[in-house]
Amino acid sequence: MKLLKSVGLALLAASIALGSVPGARAAEDTVKVGVLHSLSGTMAISETSLRDVLLFTFDEINKSGGVMGKKIEPVVVDGASDWPLFAEKAKQLLEQDKVAAIFGCWTSVSRKSVLPVVEQANGLLFYPVQYEGEEMSKNIIYTAEAVNQQATPAVDYCLAQGKKKFYLLGSDYVYPQTTNLVLLEYLLSKGVPIENIGGGLKKDEAGNVISAGKYTPFGHTDYQQIVSEIKQFAAGGNAVIINTLNGDTNVPFFKEYAAAGLNAEDCPVVSFSISEDEFRGLPAKDLVGQLGCWTYFQSIASPANKKFVTNFKKWLQTTKETGIVKENRVTCSPMVLSYNGVYLWKKAVEQAKSFEVEKVVAALEKGISFDGPGGTVTSQKNHHVTKNVYIGETKADGQFKILKSYKGVAGEPFLKGTFKAKVAAK
């Protein structure tokens, strides 16, 4: 019995030793990072592209020596377009896999559900998609476009073009609602009279505007009435539509818009949620001449961007990862902001000489710069990122012709009330 027991113990010990030694060695050479995107459900169409670009970035970094000599080991989890699940998966990444950083989330609601988790476990999340602001967590780095890096420059551009009337139209959720409220204040501060802002205003009992613009639910199919209202709104000329409709609801809207005889030269549409990647599912030909505003376009003619696009396409063809669409791929702003996020993290880690969240965040707050495909980006003290803003016009091939660029725009999350205050100060 004793013999048996000791043999058993020895075997157990050996198996533990065998099992743990490679594990220990792996832990020395690699650093785990989390990728938290929806790979199934309604958001999968958009978010899988970000997963792809992240894997590409990790490969690129690993090939050139990794982060502080350690290879990046991605842990990819599926948020499944289910917001509470995002929180659970974030918890799993932080507590079980002990990842050094998480790259992920697309919708604001998924970010909001992950936020308490990363704050509690003191994790680090890089968030890459244009959003409405009014948020600043010590554990989140917003590489995304803040409202003043997308919406207000677009309005500036329209005003410079002599546009006088603005019609606000969006899908009914937090991003369009908040963005349009900020835009309303911004337009008023620029001297646009309130009757020249279309779509309708909703006020609370105290008379404060709580919602500006026209909103339709996801999957709305009938835009006849809205388009006829826009047509009357735009009859006098110099009108522009600020469009925050999401995803494929844009199709019935743009079809109705064209059928009503509206066109990009008389009444252009500036869309904030249509990037090159979305054009894979939209009829680009129907949108020719309409405007977009992002901090990156695939058509940017810089050598850095050309290299990025070529390398990404090459990687798509050679990668052994499963489930990656290889045909007709494009690059777009959320993808490049994900890419930038990884490099900013790498540089911050190398500067802090540590993977510890506090030290990395401290380095990022001091200001880390990276020359990305869309130009130089610099992290700010307020966890947002300074970057270039581009206005582009849609071409028939789903790419943008760049019309105007604003260099080095600093991200500013808290905008509500600031324009009003500025006007009052004057």
Partner 1 sequence: MPLLSFNEGAGFIPCLFSLLEKRGTICMKLSHSIIRLLIAGCLSVAAIADDTPRATIAKAVLMTEDAEEQARLVSSLAATGSEETGKLLSLWRQGGIFIHDLPDETQVAITLEGNADEEGRQRALRVDDGKPLLDASGQPVLLVAADLVTADTDSNLRRAMNSVLDLLALSTPDVAARKNAVTKLGMSQKLERLEDLKTRQAKETNADVKLALEEAIALVQLKSKDALVQAAAARKLGDMKSMMSKDFLLALDKEARAAQPANTEISAAVTEALAKIETHTKWVNFYGTLFRGVSLGSVLLVVAIGLAITFGLMGVINMAHGELIAVGAYATYMVHNLFGAGLSLSPFGWSVWIPGLNAGGALYDAYFIVALPVAFLSAALVGIALERGIIQFLYRRPLESLLATWGVSLVLQQLFKLIFGSNNVQVYSPQWLSGSWTVMDVSFGWNRLFVIGFAVAIIIATWLLLTKTSLGLLIRAVMQNRQMAACMGVRTERVNMLTFGFGSGLAGLAGAFLSQIGNVGPSLGQNYIVEAFMTVVVGGVGSLAGTVISAMGIGVIDQALQQILLNPVLGKILVLGAIILFLQWRPAGMFVTQSRSLDN
Q: How far apart are CA 291 and CA 98, in angstroms?
A: 43
Residue of 64, 208, 232, 317 interacting with partner 1 (CB under 8 A): 232
**x/- site string to partner 1, residues 136 to 155, per CB under 8 A?**
--------------------
Specify the residue, 270 or 348, whose C-beta has the smaller distance to partner 1: 270
Residue of 182, 269, 282, 335 interacting with partner 1 (CB under 8 A): 282
| 112 near partner 1, judged by CB under 8 A | no
Residue of 22, 23, 261, 323 interacting with partner 1 (CB under 8 A): 261
Query: What does the H/E/C string look like for the chain?
Result: CHHHHHHHHHHHHHHHHHHHHHHHHHHHHEEEEEEEECCCCCCHHHHHHHHHHHHHHHHHHHHCCCECCEEEEEEEEECCCCHHHHHHHHHHHHHHCCCCCEEECCCHHHHHHHHHHHHHCCCCEEECCCCCCCCCCCCEEECCCCHHHCHHHHHHHHHHCCCCEEEEEEECCHHHHHHHHHHHHHHHHCCCCHHHEECCEEECCCCCEEEECEEECCCCCCCHHHHHHHHHHCCCCCEEEEEECCHHHHHHHHHHHHHCCCCCCCCCEEECCCCCCHHHHCCHHHHCCCEEEECCCCCCCCHHHHHHHHHHHHHHHHCCCCCCCCCCCCCCHHHHHHHHHHHHHHHHHHHHCCCCHHHHHHHHHHCCEEEECCEEEEECCCCEEEEEEEEEEECCCCCEEEEEEEEEECCCCCCCCHHHHHHHHC
Smallest distance, partner 1 to C-beta of residue 333, A: 19
Owner of token pair 């009859």: 235
**x/- site string to partner 1, residues 189 to 218, per CB under 8 A?**
------x----x-------------xxxx-
Adjacent-strand bridge partners of 377: 370
Smallest distance, partner 1 to C-beta of residue 422, A: 25
Stretch that binds partner 1, among 51-59, 121-129, 261-269, 412-420 (CB under 8 A): 261-269
Specify the residue, 240 or 368, whose C-beta has the smaller distance to partner 1: 240
| 285 near partner 1, judged by CB under 8 A | yes
Amino acid symbol at 381: K
Adjacent-strand bridge partners of 34: 75, 102
Chain centroid to CA 50: how far? Answer: 9
Stretch that binds partner 1, among 6-14, 24-32, 65-73, 283-291 (CB under 8 A): 283-291
Site for partner 1 in 351-410 (CB under 8 A): 393, 401, 403
Specify the residue, 285 or 353, whose C-beta has the smaller distance to partner 1: 285
In this structure, the chain runs to a length of: 426
Q: Which of 304, 314, 310 is nearest to 340 (CA)?
A: 304
Q: How far apart are CA 218 and CA 220, in angstroms?
A: 6
Residue of 235, 314, 358, 371 interacting with partner 1 (CB under 8 A): 235
Residue of 30, 62, 161, 399 interacting with partner 1 (CB under 8 A): 161
| 321 near partner 1, judged by CB under 8 A | no
Residue of 251, 304, 316, 362 interacting with partner 1 (CB under 8 A): 251
Residue of 225, 302, 310, 369 interacting with partner 1 (CB under 8 A): 225
Stretch that binds partner 1, among 49-57, 89-97, 277-285, 362-370 (CB under 8 A): 277-285
Smallest distance, partner 1 to C-beta of residue 171, A: 11
Specify the residue, 44 or 181, whose C-beta has the smaller distance to partner 1: 44
| 23 near partner 1, judged by CB under 8 A | no
Specify the residue, 214 or 347, whose C-beta has the smaller distance to partner 1: 214
Site for partner 1 in 39-68 (CB under 8 A): 44-45
Smallest distance, partner 1 to C-beta of residue 46, A: 10
Interaction site with partner 1 (CB under 8 A): 44-45, 161, 165, 172, 195, 200, 214-217, 219-222, 224-226, 228-229, 231-232, 235-237, 248, 251-252, 255-256, 258-261, 263-265, 268, 280-286, 289, 291, 393, 401, 403
